[in-house]
């Protein structure tokens, strides 16, 4: 491994785009290199059955590979889920919890919730969290038709908050359509971001899925050039 790994966040253009498998793949890669990397989920909604932190732990075969600060049952944005269940959810506590987990790790990897404009708590959003934590981000996007608009707007929202985008990952990339084949270059031209792709991977165990994702991504994403 060349370079010194640094903390970062994995965010998405939407929910279900593959943030967790990318987080798991990069966390596992770093841990395989002897780095004490730890994925941090600020808030998990839809719990159970959704449990992104547990997926990463299973993928890395280590409970210490991930942590989740809060879990809420409704499968909604955290602020909405907390309001519907009449639970308190403090943005300041989420920031503090992330800072503590990052400080306790050699490399902290904060995984977002849904897209970057998803409401977290107290009128703040995911984009506010990564900006306040001063983390560069890896942006996970869909590969097919429609991703140009979603990806470019998300990059713009991040840069408006002075968040550095380390790279864009187009998930489940097959290149089966003209849109898919032309999207990587178009996104590079529109955003000046490095674009990488991950093909569809047969669902099996978290560990094998994370390993497959890891093998398709470059070291630069995990290490960065800061």
Binding-site residues, in ranges, read 16-21, 45, 52, 111-114, 171-172, 199-201
Binding-site residues for substrate, in ranges, read 45
Provide the edge-to-edge strand list for the sheet that holds 137-142: 66-71, 37-44, 107-115, 8-12, 137-142, 165-171, 195-198
| Residue at token pair 């489940």 | 172
β strands within the chain, DSSP E? 8-12, 37-44, 66-71, 107-115, 119-121, 124-125, 137-142, 165-171, 195-198
Binding-site residues for ATP, in ranges, read 16-21, 52, 111-114, 171-172, 199-201
21 near 209, Cβ under 8 Å? yes
Which one of 28, 38, 41, 214 is the catalytic residue?
41
Asked if 41 is an active-site residue, the reply is yes
Binding-site residues for Mg(2+), in ranges, read 20, 52, 111
Whole-angstrom Cα distance, residue 136 to residue 220? 13
102 near 7, Cβ under 8 Å? yes
Which active-site residues does the annotation give? 41
């Amino acid at each position: 491994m060349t370079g010194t790994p640094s903390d970062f966040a994995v965010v998405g253009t939407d929910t279900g785009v593959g943030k967790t498998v990318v987080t798991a793949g990069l966390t596992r890669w770093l841990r395989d290199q002897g780095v004490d990397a730890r994925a941090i989920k600020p808030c998990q909604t839809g719990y159970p059955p959704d449990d992104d932190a547990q997926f990463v732990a299973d993928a890395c075969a280590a409970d210490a590979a991930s942590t989740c600060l809060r879990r809420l049952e409704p499968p909604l944005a955290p602020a909405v889920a907390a309001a519907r269940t009449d639970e308190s959810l403090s943005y300041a506590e989420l920031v503090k919890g992330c800072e503590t987990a990052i400080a306790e790790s050699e490399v902290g990897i904060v995984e977002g919730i849904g897209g970057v404009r998803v409401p977290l708590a107290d009128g703040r959003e995911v984009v506010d969290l990564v900006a306040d934590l001063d983390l560069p981000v890896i942006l996970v996007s869909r590969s097919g038709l429609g991703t140009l608009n979603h990806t470019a707007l998300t990059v713009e929202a991040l840069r408006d908050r002075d968040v550095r985008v380390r790279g864009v990952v187009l998930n489940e990339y097959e290149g089966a359509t003209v849109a898919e084949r032309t999207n990587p270059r178009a996104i590079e031209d529109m955003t000046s971001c490095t674009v990488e792709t991950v093909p569809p991977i047969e669902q099996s165990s978290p560990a094998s899925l994370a390993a497959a994702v890891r093998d398709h991504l470059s070291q630069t994403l995990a290490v960065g050039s800061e």
